[in-house]
Structure 1
């Protein structure tokens, strides 16, 4: 049975003033905190966190947040204006209204949310790769997929700010100031939303028609929102608490027993280490992240398929196949610790690449397979770690070589590949690991986890 939640109490006077102010604010807004937990700065895996004062049973409620205490475009002081001009605030991210609300509330000395937002002084603790130098990203994260994702983020942020945000704040100088609400602050707030916001899960109604679906997209619960207290909890894949949404409030519920002194962890979802570093600025130490993945870019499968081609006719056939395949996907094949997650796409690529000229001509004429009798469960098993060794030799060779090309893309600043054995020794040497900067450690966790998945894949597909 859930423990009755009690009013949040300020911890000992030794707690930093911003945290004291925040906990007092929690009392004022009706946020209730179980007497079995407390929020602290230090003693957790990140700057802030939550620890158990007592043993906690599965199902107990750790805290309850009334919806009035959530910060989003509908609860900010400028909500009426944001709603009035929402058509001018549309963007690819969909975050502009929330970010404008945060720009206003974060810099307003009279903001209702000041005790909450003051926990992040100038957002100095955010260490997303978007705040690293380009040289540092390219050197430490080459091959991981993060540098490209960050370049895209920064370009989109700049465009969104220039095309949407700046014209809006210029029209409303009484509420925003372009000299205060700069691109730099906007970028920090984007990272803040990436790292700390929540989005309410939506229940799908199969009876909804298209118009009703469009209305569903406009519901406030579909918007990202800041959730005080919930965002104080850190993440691990083997979490012990989960946020539940009800019509009146949000509740953090214990999902497995927590011992006294243990940290309370929420989950941000099934996140690989590269995603955690990209979106949140941290990683889980290897091998604890059960959701870790490695991507094989489709271009590396093309390189594998091109190996050994000796005639112009064969090269032309490959080019024709590749043109058709690239219309199906431009992404990558994703592997985790148990096999290929994008097995349907990989199965299609391998099947087309193995076709003779006649088979491929028929395939094009039919605009694909008229009836694909391949069973999804059978395909999934075939591309799992258990099934990969049983694939036909030509398929294994392509996967093996594509993985090898991908593994070769991890290089250091001296342009040579860093061996996984060297990184393993570094990971096991706690003294040497401690000498690395936080960024170097996080980059190492991402690289090492991905390389291990690729090496295992190569071993499973060795002919």
Structure 2
């Protein structure tokens, strides 16, 4: 049960932070007296600390829905709602971003005390703000450079084809000279790093693939993330509540969770990483095309090469050619996809012919229950042909992180940096974050190679 809320208190004397906390008080945000916001003793610029011991299940703060910033609560909500059909995009973020463009640059904005916490977005250091050369050099093989290139292309297209024409139609509210592509890009990163999404009801049958539009949630976005978090945001019809999920000791930082997020996703979306050792949700992707290349290497003659091509053609009809197999520290997270790929790529000529004739598996040869077959504990027990494909696909993926070095060299070079405290301290913050991503993924792949070495 929550203790009696009280007026906000900040201990570092920051005027901007004090203005924000007073604004929170005015809009009805209720803060438990056992916690306080601070810029000291936290892992990032802002954070929340426990002033007293907190029990599991205590409400740390409550935010009324009227204090959330989204396209429905902004001053320009009516025009955004009226022309919503012209603002549709693949991201679904354009209405919120237009609202933020307006509110961020309006001196009379109701949200000014909140948005002033990010006066120039200088704290945002997503890879999209690194040079392309730096991304490609530091993050090669991780999947981040490719994701960022796609992001930047989509942002430019969205701004030029949707946002800019809309602003030109409403010169009384937006000005392209003020609301530039550069500001728009920073606001995209801001939404990436700080927004929340309303969870969908499990029985919501209305377009399950469509995600809820993002919301800016003042106070909740002050909390930092770790995978081993101690608080969680709950949504109710009238408010949002941050609730402790375990006991929190006096002086301990209060951590929210952004979900089960790997380090490459944390860096891409939020601009930071956890230690690869402490991030229990870290993953490495193996492209399904690497399984195909591994199968090609296994083929000893032209007829076997042709058979691999036939298998691959069938597999591409069943799953995306550019799909990936996702592995965590505990095993494969895409069990059914990996099972299908291995099964098809190992079919004999007779089995493949039968598969084609039946347009799929025979009923008595249907999908087995392999939910545990690809766990770390079970990988070494797979049949040899499957282990060989996984081993070589993992090796090919690992080799994509370098320029012809051996897999051992690729791992040991980063391991030396991780274990040499003096060398690690000499790295820039970007280099440290990139190293955490690279090494975490490499260790998963290298372990996978060890377990499937036959």
- Is the shorter-chain TM-score for this pair beyond 0.5, marking a shared fold? yes
1:332 aligns with 2:324: yes
Alignment check: 8 A CA contact 2:399 2:405 kept = no
1:228 aligns with 2:227: no
Partner of 2:227: 237
Partner of 2:261: 271
Q: Which moved more, 1:257-266 or 1:355-364?
A: 355-364
Partner of 2:252: 262
Q: Distance in 1 between matches of 2:265 and 2:390?
A: 24
Q: Distance in 2 between matches of 1:313 and 1:344?
A: 29
Question: In the TM superposition, what is the alpha-carbon distance from 1:102 to its structure 2 partner?
Answer: 0.3
Question: In the TM superposition, what is the alpha-carbon distance from 1:365 to its structure 2 partner?
Answer: 2.3
1:84 aligned to which of 78, 82, 85: 82
1:185 aligns with 2:183: yes
2:438 aligned to which of 447, 452, 457: 447
Partner of 1:371: 363
Partner of 2:133: 135
Partner of 2:306: 316
Q: Distance in 2 between matches of 1:141 and 1:326?
A: 28
Alignment check: 8 A CA contact 1:197 1:224 kept = yes
Residue 411 of structure 1 aligns to a residue in which SS? coil
Question: In the TM superposition, what is the alpha-carbon distance from 1:369 to its structure 2 partner?
Answer: 1.3
Question: In the TM superposition, what is the alpha-carbon distance from 1:374 to its structure 2 partner?
Answer: 5.1
Alignment check: 8 A CA contact 1:5 1:62 kept = no
Matched ranges for 1:53-64 at <5 A: 53-64=51-62
Alignment check: 8 A CA contact 1:15 1:40 kept = no
Q: Distance in 2 between matches of 1:430 and 1:272?
A: 24
Q: Distance in 1 between matches of 2:260 and 2:280?
A: 9
2:293 aligned to which of 294, 298, 303: 303
Q: Distance in 1 between matches of 2:299 and 2:203?
A: 51
Residue 222 of structure 1 aligns to a residue in which SS? coil
Query: Residues 363, 185 of structure 1: CA spacing in aligned structure 2 closer, same or farther, 3 A cutoff?
Result: same
Alignment check: 8 A CA contact 2:401 2:410 kept = no
1:388 aligns with 2:379: yes
Query: Residues 444, 372 of structure 1: CA spacing in aligned structure 2 closer, same or farther, 3 A cutoff?
Result: farther
Question: In the TM superposition, what is the alpha-carbon distance from 1:173 to its structure 2 partner?
Answer: 0.6
1:402 aligns with 2:398: no
Query: Residues 294, 153 of structure 1: CA spacing in aligned structure 2 closer, same or farther, 3 A cutoff?
Result: same
1:111 aligned to which of 109, 113, 132: 109
Cα-to-partner distance string for 1:349-388 (whole Å, 9 max, x where unaligned): 1111111222112212222114265566x31211111111
Q: Distance in 2 between matches of 1:339 and 1:345?
A: 13
Q: Distance in 2 between matches of 1:364 and 1:142?
A: 39
2:282 aligned to which of 277, 292, 299: 292
Partner of 2:4: 4
Partner of 2:120: 122
Question: In the TM superposition, what is the alpha-carbon distance from 1:217 to its structure 2 partner?
Answer: 9.1
Runs (5+) with no aligned partner, structure 1: none
Q: Which moved more, 1:312-321 or 1:78-87?
A: 312-321
Residue 38 of structure 1 aligns to a residue in which SS? strand
2:350 aligned to which of 347, 358, 361: 358
Question: In the TM superposition, what is the alpha-carbon distance from 1:332 to its structure 2 partner?
Answer: 0.6
Partner of 1:430: 421
1:69 aligns with 2:60: no
Query: Residues 445, 279 of structure 1: CA spacing in aligned structure 2 closer, same or farther, 3 A cutoff?
Result: same
Residue 106 of structure 1 aligns to a residue in which SS? helix
Cα-to-partner distance string for 1:171-225 (whole Å, 9 max, x where unaligned): 001000011111111111111101100001111337x5xxxx25x999xx93210
Query: Residues 261, 325 of structure 1: CA spacing in aligned structure 2 closer, same or farther, 3 A cutoff?
Result: same
Q: Which moved more, 1:229-238 or 1:383-392?
A: 383-392
Residue 155 of structure 2 aligns to a residue in which SS? helix
Question: In the TM superposition, what is the alpha-carbon distance from 1:312 to its structure 2 partner?
Answer: 2.4
TM-score in terms of structure 2 length = 0.96
Residue 264 of structure 1 aligns to a residue in which SS? strand
Q: Distance in 1 between matches of 2:218 and 2:226?
A: 19
Alignment check: 8 A CA contact 2:223 2:256 kept = yes
Alignment check: 8 A CA contact 1:5 1:61 kept = no
Q: Which moved more, 1:445-454 or 1:197-206?
A: 197-206
Partner of 1:29: 27
Alignment check: 8 A CA contact 2:390 2:452 kept = yes
Partner of 1:458: 449
Q: Distance in 1 between matches of 2:16 and 2:379?
A: 54
Partner of 2:335: 343
Q: Distance in 1 between matches of 2:51 and 2:240?
A: 22
Alignment check: 8 A CA contact 2:60 2:243 kept = yes
Question: In the TM superposition, what is the alpha-carbon distance from 1:416 to its structure 2 partner?
Answer: 8.1
Query: Residues 217, 66 of structure 1: CA spacing in aligned structure 2 closer, same or farther, 3 A cutoff?
Result: farther
Question: In the TM superposition, what is the alpha-carbon distance from 1:80 to its structure 2 partner?
Answer: 0.5
Alignment check: 8 A CA contact 2:51 2:251 kept = yes
Q: Distance in 2 between matches of 1:87 and 1:362?
A: 49
Question: In the TM superposition, what is the alpha-carbon distance from 1:41 to its structure 2 partner?
Answer: 1.3
How many corresponding residue pairs? 451
Runs (5+) with no aligned partner, structure 2: none
Question: In the TM superposition, what is the alpha-carbon distance from 1:415 to its structure 2 partner?
Answer: 7.7
Partner of 2:270: 280
RMSD over equivalenced CA pairs, Å: 1.8
